[in-house]
Amino acid sequence: EDQVTQSPEALRLQEGESSSLNCSYTVSGLRGLFWYRQDPGKGPEFLFTLYSAGEEKEKERLKATLTKKESFLHITAPKPEDSATYLCAVQADAGGTSYGKLTFGQGTILTVHP
């Protein structure tokens, strides 16, 4: 069974204090690892997809990296507006052309104080 574990559960940072969120996974053949951001009362918002070990993607203050067992979401010089829950999800390679379901971790609640 595919599993995703995120740590820490919650992270409080001062504005400008860089840090990393961790996502450890086990999956029967990784098709893609997804990072999402979720604000209160909203649905998850897509950030990145990573496909293979060694891959990196960046968007503003966020950088996601991938190894064979885990992914990191690095946040550089965060701002209060980066406060949200960050979700990691994996998609197994089930064959076929449609990607199929995501298996999510519980998320990391990030709070950035001014």
Partner 1 sequence: EAGVTQFPSHSVIEKGQTVTLRCDPISGHDNLYWYRRVMGKEIKFLLHFVKESKQDESGMPNNRFLAERTGGTYSTLKVQPAELEDSGVYFCASSQAFNEGLYGYTFGSGTRLTVV
- What are the residues binding partner 1 (CB under 8 A)? 4, 32, 34, 36, 41-47, 49, 51, 87, 89, 91, 97-107
Q: Which is nearer to partner 1, 87 or 112 (CB)?
A: 87
Q: What angle do CA 42, 87, 71 make, to 5 degrees?
A: 160
Q: Which is nearer to partner 1, 5 or 18 (CB)?
A: 5
Least separation in angstroms between residue 44's CB and partner 1 is 5
Q: Which is nearer to partner 1, 15 or 58 (CB)?
A: 58
First to last CA, the chain: 41
Least separation in angstroms between residue 86's CB and partner 1 is 13
Least separation in angstroms between residue 30's CB and partner 1 is 12
Q: Which is nearer to partner 1, 13 or 47 (CB)?
A: 47
Contacts of 81 (CB under 8 A, 6+ apart): 112
Least separation in angstroms between residue 34's CB and partner 1 is 6
Distance CA 88, CA 34 (A): 6
Q: How many residues in total does the chain contain?
A: 114
Q: Using alpha carbons only, how large is the chain's radius of gyration in Å?
A: 14
